[in-house]
Amino acid sequence: MAENTVTLTVAQAIVRYLDNQFIEIDEHEYRLCGGGFGIFGHGNVTCLGEALQDVKDTLPLYRGQNEQGMGFAAAGYAKTWLRKRFMFCTASAGPGTANLLTSAALAHANRLPVLMLCGDTFLTRLPDPVLQQLEHFGNPTFGVNDAFKAVSRFWDRITHPAQIIQSLPAALNTMMDPADCGPAFIGLPQDVQGWTYDYPLGFFEKRLHRVRSQAADPAEVLEAIKILTKARRPMIIAGGGVQYGDAVRELTAFADATQVPVVETIAGRANMRHDHPLNIGPLGVTGSDSANKIAEEADVVIAVGTRLQDFTTGSWTAFAKDAKFINLNVGRHDATKHLGNSVVGDCKQTLPALRAAGYSCPPEWVVKAQAERAKWNDYVADNTRVGNRPNSYAQAIGVVNELCHPRDRVVAAAGGLPAEVTANWKSLDIGTVDVEFGFSCMGYEIAGAWGARIAQEQREPTRDTITFCGDGSYLLMNSDIYSSVLTQKKLIVMLLDNGGFAVINKLQNNVGQESFNNLIADTPTATRQVAVDFEAHARSMGAATETVEHASELGEAFKRAKASDQTYVIVMKVDPYEGWTTEGHTWWEVGTPHVTDKSDVREAHEDWEATRDRQRKGV
């Protein structure tokens, strides 16, 4: 062994490197990697498992119940830390790794740092084919792990021990880059994991990372100012990048100085408190009448830190066709969408530069926007009111909203709840809402909340993590209730049972079709109806549970959940047909049958297409 080197296996070197990476956040120093989620198998236990055992106190390994859930938990952790810290996931070769594919896609869509350290087939190929190995007859190098190339920002397969000296820093730099942030995948062949190399000691020296803050090109800022100064009806779309870019104060200061109304995307919920006078509400398909009304009339739209997803833009029907866009984003790809005037740079640095131009919004436009928000507030108050009507998502949201602490974290993901939370939740404090709609992934509700809870205990240990979960998502992935119990990471799970996939049933009905295969009652192959005892099921995993019959009982149950020191599941049935939020929707492009013998379907298709004329074509 040469001087100033240390002989380690590949697995040991990876772990030692991760253990020595740090970041400073709010004047406190943390390990960049908060630990990991792992399920061991023959592809990762003998070498990576051996190395991880030695750092169990500094890089804690949380045992998952399902690899997809582990990936969701890592995403929830990264969101809570605003992408400044990450967790790794380790899975065995074959189906264990394949189970991570969906959560990698979620992290990719949401631009979240997640490191995947996954087993791979033997590099020597001497024992081929091994257990769980796929064989491609014309390409022996091609396997399950190659599927991650489509859902990773960084992808590599370690074929020599020295390779990690370049690969690991590149993976971390990608995950920490504001513009390129996303999941990194590293395939670890089972034999290579245990091979040794004389690594330079300098590779393992402590490193303090910083997230890059890059100012925009002055010429792009100047062009944006020219457009803004001519605006009579401007509007700001505040996306998730505002929080990730640590620019909440700058956004608020810009809005206060210019008096430009602000609307929020789904990912950007809680960029502002709900009662800020310039917060006009959530925008888009699952938005508010107030935000959508001013979007229709805005002549200049300043899109800050948003990827302008179709639920934000109403499939590009939410805006006037001649509205000018100023797209401020750290990512060129997002800044140049729909021929917007791109300002590629950090919103934390760039918003003050735009504010310095001294623009002031016409008062009559501000008054109009605020009047629309007041009307929306009245609608939400009535929509969430508990009374003599069927239980609904909105009522449950309203009850929790009234009783939770302002710093409690709220999580929702797939089905009807993201729309209902986005439209009805009053943000009580900054950065307290996680509505996972970048990939709209069923199963994130509980697993993502578990990861968020791990992070939240490191930041605000006295606050609760509350997740809204439908029965469909619960049946898909519920085992991280058990994970939260094992690790004593308390969750409050609001389990709202509407008898199946009711929001997709609603979409089915909205396009003229009869209910088919979405609600359990309308599933043709379900030859008997069996009610799931969700309360008993959750209790069997160690959670405290109770069922309430009516939303009027929910408040007291929620108080008991808050007072409890363990994961608490509250079950309530909600009506699958009544009680949906009926206002606040823009048009949304849905593929409908162009030819059908069903008159209702044909009429719905014609109605849907008749409203397409507002769709912008990218100019």
> What CATH number does residue 558 fall under?
3.40.50.970
Name 545's bridge partners.
Answer: 569
State how far the Cα of 372 lies from the Cα of 368, in Å rounded to an integer: 6
Tell if the pTM clears 0.85, that is, is over it: yes
Backbone angles phi, psi at 335, to 5 degrees: -70, -25
The pLDDT of residue 3 is 82
Instruction: Kindly state whether residues 167 and 124 are assigned to the same domain.
Output: yes
Backbone angles phi, psi at 242, to 5 degrees: -65, -45
Give the strand order in the sheet containing 21-25.
Answer: 28-31, 21-25, 207-209
For the chain, give the number of residues. Answer: 619
447: containing domain: 384-573
Confirm if 136 and 103 have CB atoms less than 8 A apart: no
State how far the Cα of 474 lies from the Cα of 569, in Å rounded to an integer: 11
User: Which of the listed residues 209, 229, 256 is the one where a domain comes to its end?
Assistant: 209
Per DSSP, the chain holds a count of helices (H) and strands (E) of: 23, 23
Instruction: Kindly state whether residues 519 and 598 are assigned to the same domain.
Output: no
Tokens linked to 544: 């405290």
Instruction: Kindly state whether residues 167 and 257 are assigned to the same domain.
Output: no
Residue 129, preceding peptide bond in cis (omega within 30° of 0): yes
Instruction: Kindly state whether residues 166 and 186 are assigned to the same domain.
Output: yes
Q: Within 10 Å of residue 375's Cβ, how many Cβ atoms?
A: 13
Could you identify the residue written with the tokens 């790809």?
333
Confirm if 567 and 485 have CB atoms less than 8 A apart: yes
State how far the Cα of 15 lies from the Cα of 453, in Å rounded to an integer: 24
Instruction: Kindly state whether residues 334 and 408 are assigned to the same domain.
Output: no
Instruction: Kindly state whether residues 366 and 247 are assigned to the same domain.
Output: yes
User: Which of the listed residues 356, 376, 396 is the one where a domain comes to its end?
Assistant: 376
Instruction: Kindly state whether residues 50 and 128 are assigned to the same domain.
Output: yes
**CATH code (residue 277):** 3.40.50.1220
Provide the number of structural domains found in the chain: 4
User: Which of the listed residues 192, 209, 226 is the one where a domain comes to its end?
Assistant: 209
Confirm if 278 and 264 have CB atoms less than 8 A apart: no
Residues 331/335/339/341 CA torsion (nearest 10 deg): -140
Confirm if 216 and 328 have CB atoms less than 8 A apart: yes
Domain assignment present for residue 579? The answer is: no
Instruction: Kindly state whether residues 389 and 505 are assigned to the same domain.
Output: yes
The pLDDT of residue 612 is 87
Q: What is the mean pLDDT of each run of 10 residues along the chain (619 residues)?
A: 90 98 95 98 96 97 97 98 98 95 98 97 92 89 95 98 98 96 97 97 97 93 97 98 97 98 97 98 97 98 96 94 96 92 96 96 98 98 94 98 98 95 98 95 97 95 96 97 98 97 93 94 92 97 98 98 98 95 94 93 90 78
Instruction: Kindly state whether residues 241 and 170 are assigned to the same domain.
Output: no
CA distances from 127 to 11, 123, 208, 289, 359 (A): 21, 10, 42, 63, 70
Q: Which DSSP helix (H) or strand (E) runs through 364?
A: helix 363-383
Q: What is the DSSP string of 447-458?
A: HHHHHHHHHHHH
Instruction: Kindly state whether residues 402 and 372 are assigned to the same domain.
Output: no
Strands in 39-191 per DSSP E: 61-63, 86-91, 115-120, 154-157, 184-189
The pLDDT of residue 288 is 98
Backbone angles phi, psi at 498, to 5 degrees: -115, 20
Domain assignment present for residue 586? The answer is: no
